[in-house]
Structure 1
């Protein structure tokens, strides 16, 4: 028996992307399909989606969705992504907009209605195309109402009588908190507007809806799952209900993977020279190329790279504190690529003026340059204060560029301190989120760099790690099987295995 899974999300690469959510929804289903799952995706037909480029086809099917006192029509389109069926819900009122969630002025004021419409449309689309899912896998607060609808408005709908739901939290900071009247616009009854269900301090919380009503809740790393269910600073007010789901065995963390078709030093078209464990000397050519791009002198000194949004959450506040001292006291080079908070950009620009031959700042998003930084740097700066999963550290390890991280979330699950005695580990970790602790960690990397035997061993260690989606997909597949009772033969892989 083939398991049927429907992914529901507000974004998905390559069609439309705002954040990392789109990468997950664009990558995980492809691997699940390879493992034998009949998986399909449904997303809104945003204005940004190029219908001609992606060969979208209007199926001629309509769904009629009640939102408050009115019925709103949606039209279903489809296309294939690597032989994977993707459905799009078209509605000009809600999705014919220049942006996905917000403009420079802030969130769209009717976002709650947009999410209500789409959540119901997910279920009606499944019925319209006659795809009876064993699992509906919902992502973030935009689809948090789907599990709630299945347990309330659709609880006696025979089409979904055997359907289970999985709800994945990608970013707990955005919870979808709206006024009490939205609860009724969404179609729920007074019986559901209680603290045990949808009510949240007099309002409705769409993320809480997903957490309470889903058959299983996941997040994007094991450590982050523990943190959001035990710490108020990470759970953002939902740590209580998450702790309850965890105690029921209904909260787990599964690491995201990275797409090796894009991030692979053996095939990367953007870097000066391809390399692997056997041709590691080619990494030096990538470093020389990056030094040239940065107008650095091509010499044998540690080169530190960073590709990130310039945000305190990403540890850029620590960067600006320690960088002047680090650059003035040591013969090192640093390159940072990213955009973000203007005050942080200005501070970094001032540091660049002070150390023009040692520090280069690129205030932009530049994918080819990002590849050069991952490949050409010796060390990768990622001192994030909070990181649910993180992809940068996994990409860096793939390119034998040792990450420097704060021990939190997915960083704690993927980066192991390099031990100069046992010669184990794949990076550098500091455990106190202070400038002093971060600086000491930076200093330790210089010693490893100067000892070429240690540096070579560290790089060889990094090539032993596999962060592909297949390992994560097998864990999702095991969870799906437990929920549905449908047993598929799970291919055994380890989260950290030597790549062939």
Structure 2
């Protein structure tokens, strides 16, 4: 298949969250399955063209894109996605939409008044580039609200005499898939946004595909118009159909329920693997865990905490925001302080959470260490040196740190939601069914008391070394590689193509 993969951020060029990781890895796995994959993203001024081998595309040349009352000049640069080890390039082409007026702002997302225009231009430019390449994709794979109007642009039936991508032969047999990475971000703008994009007003009026409480939502547009919709875990897909988790989009997802799927994100084991990880001092494997204990000793000593192999080290690696569940942690801090455990926290975000953890480290320097910010090497070291990782999220579309932790023999303690529910099997829940297949600990109720009980249970089990080793090995044997996810996306591509051919879109 020919697959156009479109995202607002792609690692290593730009990344603010999980979308960047996915967009930097999934296209390469799709290519390994025999697909012709091209990636498209904006050219931000966050990285150097020279460092990543970008080349101006003379054959494409300049492109003029109208938005509202202005014409913007767009140019295109191309490179090849680097392999995960960074030593060579893959065969996957990546095209950068270069328009300094919109993208040279030193941030991926700006909240500027013209944020809608930035991604209107991106969406229309991608379609123009595909036209000029004379490359007819079988699938256009859109990601999050930033690309939500693309399916509408190629299906928009214009008023008489107006230009429309739906009349372009290159898109005649192109099916669309729309992936929601986080439902909370919806691309909601002023009601005149579709006018700026030159989209037929009928899609806004009278509850049209893009209208959302008198405004325009790019996310709703993608949901209503794409051939297939998916999100990044099976449980999160089920949750999004409910008012509790759907963030107002659940009525529209329920309308498209038959075309809505969950596909768990994968991880890149070339990067996250304790056997080969170059960012940790001691490599180890499921056959020999001695290196993990050495990493714990190294980590604790460098943090100024006393090493004791019988005292568990609990890690937190996270964005420090409401979604991650730190309010319920705060509820039971007095009890947590009394637990016989060491803690290491790495993250940044909302000031109240940064101050909460910084204060903990200051007031209890023998138990807590906090690094406010982000450091990739430190994240790897925590995964390798900690005994447990805590993720008490309010909701979690997929989550990656719990998957990294499983591979590193670092036992996850998670709230049972979204991708956390799909990847972490509660030890005692499995044991009650007569199965010793658990890989961690989970709690259902979003409360401090439920979190505290899971922590106490995990700490108690930690002292049973045979049991603990069993849980570690269960996790380390799990395979959440991107290959499996890519195969599932291929199934969705086939469904999207079939739906288009059946005339259902």
TM range (shorter): over 0.9
Contact 1:198 1:205 in 2 (8 A): yes
Q: 1:149 aligns with which of 142, 148, 153?
A: 153
The alignment covers a number of residue pairs equal to 476
Q: Which residue of 1 aligns with 2:207?
A: 195
Q: Which residue of 2 aligns with 1:331?
A: 340
Equivalent runs, 1:461-500 vs 2, <5 Å: 461-484=474-497
Q: Which residue of 1 aligns with 2:313?
A: 303
SS at match of 1:77: strand
User: Does residue 13 of the first structure (1) align with residue 24 of the second (2)?
Assistant: no
Contact 2:320 2:348 in 1 (8 A): yes
Q: Which residue of 2 aligns with 1:245?
A: 256
Q: Which residue of 1 aligns with 2:107?
A: 99
SS at match of 2:28: helix
Q: 2:464 aligns with which of 438, 441, 451?
A: 451
SS at match of 1:483: helix
Q: Which residue of 1 aligns with 2:143?
A: 139
SS at match of 1:279: coil
Report the CA distance between 1:188 and its aligned residue: 1.6
For 1:319 and 1:348, the matched residues in 2 are separated by: 11
| TM-score w.r.t. length of structure 2 | 0.92
Q: Which residue of 1 aligns with 2:186?
A: 175
For 1:321 and 1:281, the matched residues in 2 are separated by: 36
For 1:379 and 1:91, the matched residues in 2 are separated by: 45
For 1:371 and 1:285, the matched residues in 2 are separated by: 14
Report the CA distance between 1:347 and its aligned residue: 2.2
SS at match of 2:62: strand
Contact 1:324 1:351 in 2 (8 A): no
Q: 2:263 aligns with which of 254, 264, 281?
A: 254
Q: Which residue of 1 aligns with 2:86?
A: none
> Against the structure 1 CA distance between its residues 77 and 360, is the aligned structure 2 distance closer, same or farther, given a 3 Å change threshold?
same
User: Does residue 267 of the first structure (1) align with residue 271 of the second (2)?
Assistant: no
User: Does residue 160 of the first structure (1) align with residue 171 of the second (2)?
Assistant: yes
Equivalent runs, 1:303-382 vs 2, <5 Å: 303-328=313-338, 330-382=339-391
Report the CA distance between 1:485 and its aligned residue: 5.3
For 2:471 and 2:191, the matched residues in 1 are separated by: 55
User: Does residue 222 of the first structure (1) align with residue 234 of the second (2)?
Assistant: yes
For 2:360 and 2:170, the matched residues in 1 are separated by: 61
Q: Which residue of 1 aligns with 2:56?
A: 58
Report the CA distance between 1:156 and its aligned residue: 2.0
Q: After TM superposition, where is structure 1 displaced by more than 4 Å over at least 4 residues in a row? A: none
Contact 1:15 1:50 in 2 (8 A): no
User: Does residue 70 of the first structure (1) align with residue 82 of the second (2)?
Assistant: no
Deviations 1:393-421 (Å, cap 9, x if unpaired)? 10111101110001111111111101356
Deviations 1:352-411 (Å, cap 9, x if unpaired)? 233211111111201111111111111101111111110011011110111000111111
Contact 2:134 2:170 in 1 (8 A): no
Report the CA distance between 1:62 and its aligned residue: 2.3
Report the CA distance between 1:150 and its aligned residue: 0.9
Q: Which residue of 2 aligns with 1:209?
A: 221
> Against the structure 1 CA distance between its residues 451 and 296, is the aligned structure 2 distance closer, same or farther, given a 3 Å change threshold?
same
Contact 2:407 2:477 in 1 (8 A): no
Segments of 5+ residues of structure 1 without an aligned counterpart are 487-500
Contact 2:29 2:483 in 1 (8 A): yes
What is the aligned-residue RMSD (CA, Å)? 1.4
Report the CA distance between 1:432 and its aligned residue: 0.7
SS at match of 2:192: helix
Q: Which residue of 2 aligns with 1:490?
A: none
SS at match of 2:126: helix
Segments of 5+ residues of structure 2 without an aligned counterpart are 82-89, 157-163, 500-505
For 1:415 and 1:211, the matched residues in 2 are separated by: 29
Report the CA distance between 1:292 and its aligned residue: 1.0
For 1:482 and 1:319, the matched residues in 2 are separated by: 42
For 2:361 and 2:17, the matched residues in 1 are separated by: 28
Report the CA distance between 1:108 and its aligned residue: 1.5
SS at match of 1:155: helix
SS at match of 2:166: coil
For 2:183 and 2:496, the matched residues in 1 are separated by: 24
> Against the structure 1 CA distance between its residues 262 and 216, is the aligned structure 2 distance closer, same or farther, given a 3 Å change threshold?
same
Report the CA distance between 1:213 and its aligned residue: 0.7
Equivalent runs, 1:117-136 vs 2, <5 Å: 117-136=121-140
SS at match of 1:88: strand
Report the CA distance between 1:435 and its aligned residue: 0.6
